Structure 1
Amino acid sequence: MFPATTYTARRKQLATDVQSGLIFLPGNAEAPMNYAGNTYPFRQDSNFRYFAGHNIPDLALTIDAASGASRLWGDDISLNHVVWMGEQPSVAELAARIGAERGGSLAELSTVLKTYAKEVKFLPPYRADRKTYLKEHLATLFPTGMGENAGANKGLIRAVINQRSIKSSEELEQMSIAVRTSMDMHAAAKTHAAPGQLEHEVAGLIEGMAIAGGGRLAYAAIVTKNGQILHNHYHGNTLQKGDLLLIDAGAEATSGYAGDITRTFAIGQPLTTKQEEIYRIVDRAKRESIAAARPGVKNRTLHDNAGRTIFSGLKDLGLTKGNPDEAVAAGAHALFMPHGLGHMIGLDVHDMEDLGEDLVGYDENTRRSTQFGTSSLRLGRELEKGFAITVEPGIYFIPALIDQWKADKICADFINFDKLKAYYDFGGIRLEDDIAITASGSRLL
């Protein structure tokens, strides 16, 4: 946790921005895995943690936006709980650690919420139990049912996004810790992975290192020889000599801040000439994107530039043809990179995605594209000093997608489809780093 002054300053700023009403930020409860006593590893709600610090279940925070008064709500543990889980700080002690007042029990909180329902402001719920709780306690805010983001306060959403988007030096220090652990994971995987192993042996190694680093994985790791499958969480394949192994894995620091790193390497030998050619194109796109990242530059521009680099590199290999600018405008590069260049990162690996991806990544000056591939770009708006983002270009050869584009003559003026046959068994290469935007450029985390 950070010092109490950090959390009091955050809450004061939020109250100032919201101005009125009772801000309600519930923490997460334990989630059963297969029965009540066997729970998933606990992960606190990121918005609660940002303003209240504690990674402990069954707590809630309220902030009176008019007065700035903050109260932490929860039940002190019973003697039976002490027997099983050991002694824990009282809620009053937890409140003092973040510069807040002790509110009361969760039952008392229920009464407060029902009494002041029309004044309560909350963020979009993403868990079923949270939705049920809100509907029960704040029924007047849901006249048309519990649709997506129903009842959530837009002003509060905007205020939280504006605040959490700019990372402080404290936060960037924690992210650097997460990235260092993540890089250690990738280095160990490259050393350990060998022909004859199963992917899950490598996956187990890196997850163990994330836990040993004081946190856990920030997201389910991708460890696959089938890198052309973008979010492949199957780990049952046997590694063969010369296979490309794509690992997309990041650790959380103890504080909850995330790293998100991707590396791709060959098993048991150096990259072949064919693999090296594709790798160099992806690496060039990554390095050029990082070099060009600075305040005032749209991430959409960096994405398009990476698409041009990828298209031009493949053109040098005879796989694409035509003018790169025209090709990217037509979306031809998305056959090979059908995802965005990167996204915000912080307490969430896709930072604040629960608040609305378009609200976080776009604004009135930058709208999301509807074009295949570019429509998956999570962050398009202008970069600002204090942003922390990922940069993750890739090249993938997806046979089913190539066959469909060829049959439908999609971007036929820019793609040499017949020459792509030789790459149907290639897989994919992605390279990803995390950077912080500085006053004049960016800093590699």
Structure 2
Amino acid sequence: MTSAQWPILYRQHLTTMQDRAASALARAGLDHLVVPSGTLHYQFFDDRDYPYAVNPQFKAWLPLTRNPGSWLVYTPGARPKLVYLQPRDYWHVVPKAPSGYWTTHFDIVVVRKEEEALQHLPADPSRCAILGEPQSALGDYVPGNPAAVVDYLEYHRAYKTPYEIAMMREATRRGVRGHRAAERAFRAGASEFGIHLAYCQAAGQDANDLPYGNIVALNEHGAVLHYMDRDRLPPSPVRSFLIDAGASHDGYACDITRTYSANSGDEFQALVDAVDAAQLRMCAQVRAGVDYRQLHLDAHLALAGILRDFGIVSLSPESALETGVSSAFFPHGIGHGIGLQVHDVAGFAASESGGTIDKPPGHPYLRLTRTLEPGMVVTIEPGIYFIEMLLEELRAGPHAAAVDWARVDAFRPYGGIRIEDDVVCTDGEPVNLTREGFAAG
């Protein structure tokens, strides 16, 4: 799919957004949807602002991610309106005039001061569903985030439109470029910090553009699930490399993780290859009607089988899952929804009216419990880790004898393994956006 098709896909996407908004407003008995883009936040006891993060409810409608102080207004039956803040300012770069294929679908009003937006919002705030953070309040327009509206919109956000999937493909293209550069830097002996810089350069995005902070971990640091320190000097010797890093495009994210051994012929690389093969089989399970909770439990069985095959544990996969031994080596969930946010919303939603689908007992960190349906995009990220704290608990527990601790000690200096792809559920074969991206070069 080429960028030439994006205007058509966007028009279809906007129609979907209008239909969803109309249904949500009807449920709440309200007339207008009003969404601020968000505001700048300033650090406590300082005059420096935090990096701006756009309101996801705003960027769901249009590809604007750097425009604080703007507002979206939608009244069913009317064209959506964008109140676009373009301040007079010589301290900062002023946003350019709105342009692009999306602009023809909006009534656009440009204002120079934040308070000028008030005259372009609906007359009666009490008839509005105002979705945003408290800091975005303007006059009587105070975000109330009515549950009937938020629950409905967030539930349906799990179903990505073809336009959204196209944006995620573009984000993936950037992410793959970064990952290839990061592996080259690792092979060349760079530090974690140097690898991070190589990634950002290749992806064309810095820390404020990326959808989340890069996890760049050498050796034992791979056992820290959200490792963010980025040492300035490489360890000696360098044994392994785990990178969990994404990229963004027009508000949409990709989320990719890869793991490498410094020695492509050693046993740790063989373990990486085994996890990679299992991960591909898990990706093939992303099909309509599959309970994501079961996919998570099946992942435990597959990983426990690998642990047994490599002589790390002696239990059967079923026993390793039942006793919690597998959780000592795979302590997080198999993945999550992804789209406008890396950990996309409504992962536990029972219905468009709210409610919660519980996680499997003993698996508190799973972020998605819904049954997969066409249009959903999820990550699949199994891992095997050698985490000191969890290993200590396992050694002190009743199943310590089921672990070959000499084998654990042999793998401990490598930290851990995680392989992660973004996968689209369809009405047929799943579409692996990440593997597509790597195959395209």
TM-score range, shorter chain: 0.7 to 0.9
**By how many angstroms is 1:259 displaced?**
1.3
Give the counterpart letter for 1:250 in structure 2.
G
Paired residue for 1:358? 348
Inter-partner Cα distance in structure 2 for 1:73 and 1:414: 63
Matched, 1:14 2:9: no
> 1:218/1:2 Cα in 2 relative to 1: closer, same or farther (>3 Å)?
farther
Shift of 1:288: 1.2
1:319-373 C-alpha deviation (Å, 9 max, x unpaired): 2233322321333211111111111111211123xxx5533999868412341xx
**Partners of 1:185 and 1:41 in 2: CA distance:** 22
**Aligned to 1:230, which of 199, 202, 225?**
225
Q: Choose between structure 1 and 2 for higher RCO, CA contacts under 8 A separated by at least 6 residues.
A: 2
Partner of residue 251, structure 1: 247
**1:13-44 C-alpha deviation (Å, 9 max, x unpaired):** 31133313132211022345799886555442
5+ unaligned residues in a row in structure 1: which ranges? Answer: 142-150
> What is residue 422 of structure 2 aligned with on the other side?
434
Identify the match of residue 158 of structure 1 among 131, 140, 151.
Answer: 151
Aligned to 1:305: 298
How far residue 110 of structure 1 moved from its aligned partner, in angstroms, is 5.2
CA distance in 2, matches of 1:193, 1:412: 35
Q: Shift in Å at residue 205 of structure 1?
A: 0.7
Of the candidates 432, 437, 441, which is equivalent to residue 444 of structure 1?
432
Q: Deviations over 1:235-277 (max 9, x none)?
A: 1151444411101111112x1221111111123x32412x033
Provide the residue aligned with 1:399 in structure 2.
388
Superposed displacement of residue 286, structure 1:
0.5
Aligned-pair CA distance for 1:168: 1.9
Work out whether residues 342 and 389 of structure 1, in 8 Å CA contact, stay in contact via their aligned partners in 2: yes
Matched residue SS, 2:348: helix
**What 5-or-longer segments of structure 2 have no aligned partner?**
1-5, 434-441
- d(CA) in 2 for partners of 1:166, 1:14: 14
Aligned to 1:283, which of 276, 300, 304? 276
CA deviation after TM superposition for structure 1 residue 198, in Å: 1.7
What amino acid is the match of 2:421?
D
Secondary structure of the residue aligned to 1:376 is coil
- What is the root-mean-square deviation of aligned Cα atoms in Å? 3.5
Are the structure 2 counterparts of residues 181 and 70 from structure 1 closer, same or farther at C-alpha, using a change threshold of 3 Å? closer
What is the TM-score of this pair, normalised by structure 2? 0.82
Matches within 5 A, 1:4-403: 5=11, 6-19=13-26, 20-21=29-30, 22-32=32-42, 39=49, 42-55=52-65, 56-64=67-75, 70-78=80-88, 81=89, 85=93, 88-89=96-97, 97-100=104-107, 102=109, 106-107=114-115, 116-123=124-131, 125=132, 130-134=133-137, 137=140, 151-194=144-187, 196-211=189-204, 216-225=209-218, 226-236=221-231, 237-253=233-249, 255-267=250-262, 269-273=263-267, 275-352=268-345, 357-359=347-349, 366-371=357-362, 374-403=363-392
> Any idea what the Cα deviations from partners look like across 1:206-231, whole Å, max 9, x if unmatched?
01222269x93221100011100000
Amino acid at match of 1:30: L
Question: Secondary structure at the residue paired with 1:311?
Answer: helix
Decide whether aligned partners of structure 1 residues 369 and 111 sit closer, same or farther in structure 2, where only a CA change above 3 A counts.
farther
Shift of residue 283, structure 1, vs aligned partner: 1.2
- The verdict on how the C-alpha distance between 1:365 and 1:85 changes in structure 2, with shifts beyond 3 A counting, is closer
Structure 1 residue 159, shift from structure 2 partner: 2.1
SS of 1:263's partner is strand
Q: Secondary structure at the match of 1:369?
A: coil
Please give the alpha-carbon distance, in whole angstroms, between the structure 2 residues aligned to 1:49 and 1:365.
Answer: 26
SS in 2 for 1:160: helix
So what's the TM-score if we normalise by structure 1?
Answer: 0.81
From the superposition, tell whether residues 35 and 399 of structure 1 become closer, same or farther in structure 2 (CA, over 3 Å): closer
1:423 matches 2:433: no
Deviates more, 1:2-11 or 1:292-301: 2-11
The superposition leaves residues 142-192 of structure 1 with CA deviations (integer Å, 9 ceiling, x where unpaired) of xxxxxxxxx532221222123321112222122112112211211122122
- 192 and 44 in structure 1: CA distance in 2 versus 1, 3 angstrom threshold: same
Range moving further from structure 2, 188-197 or 94-103 = 94-103
Identical counterparts, % of pairs: 25
**Could you say which residue in structure 2 is the equivalent of 1:144?**
none
